[in-house]
Amino acid sequence: MSTMKAAILIESALNQGRLSRAGLEQLLGKLPQRYRSPLSRVRSDAQSGTETAVRWWLEERCVRVRSQVQLALGIRVDLLLGTNWVIECDSRRFHDDPDQYREDRRRDLVLASRGYRVTRLTWEQVFLEWKATERMLQTMLRRRDHRRALPA
């Protein structure tokens, strides 16, 4: 199993309360250093495996990324890159419902009005079409738009 897959499983277990921090320390303590070191980056706030995969990819590229950031009243985002780029990791399970779809668009509009750029990634884009998705994300990162200041 790859380190990334292990991180996805561990973060999911932490988020769902199926694994405690003490249990994680015990688990990591049994692993060889080459696995223990990268897995020490796992977090308990990841809401999905898609979010974990994207965040780890960004961190490996030394992109400043924060998880589960509250940007406005009632608006928490999956990932915030730099100062203004929001990445939401959507799955059909939670975002295909017409009410949730409408709410997602409302939130996107609020964020855009405040100067944030919102990108929504699907499970398929991350796990089935990753090479194409990766190229596009790299192009966007190279422009460094995520480092510009938000409007006053």
Model confidence over 68-84: pLDDT tens digits? 999 999 999 999 999 99
Q: Mark the ranges of the chain whose per-residue pLDDT is less than 50.
A: none
Would you state the pLDDT for residue 92? Answer: 63
The residues facing 90 across adjacent strands are 122
Contact 17, 47 (CB under 8 A): no
pTM for the structure as a whole: 0.89
Would you state the pLDDT for residue 37? Answer: 87
The residues facing 70 across adjacent strands are 76
- For the chain, the structural domain boundaries read 1-44, 45-152
Would you state the pLDDT for residue 1? Answer: 61
Would you state the pLDDT for residue 93? Answer: 63
CATH of domain 45-152: 3.40.960.10
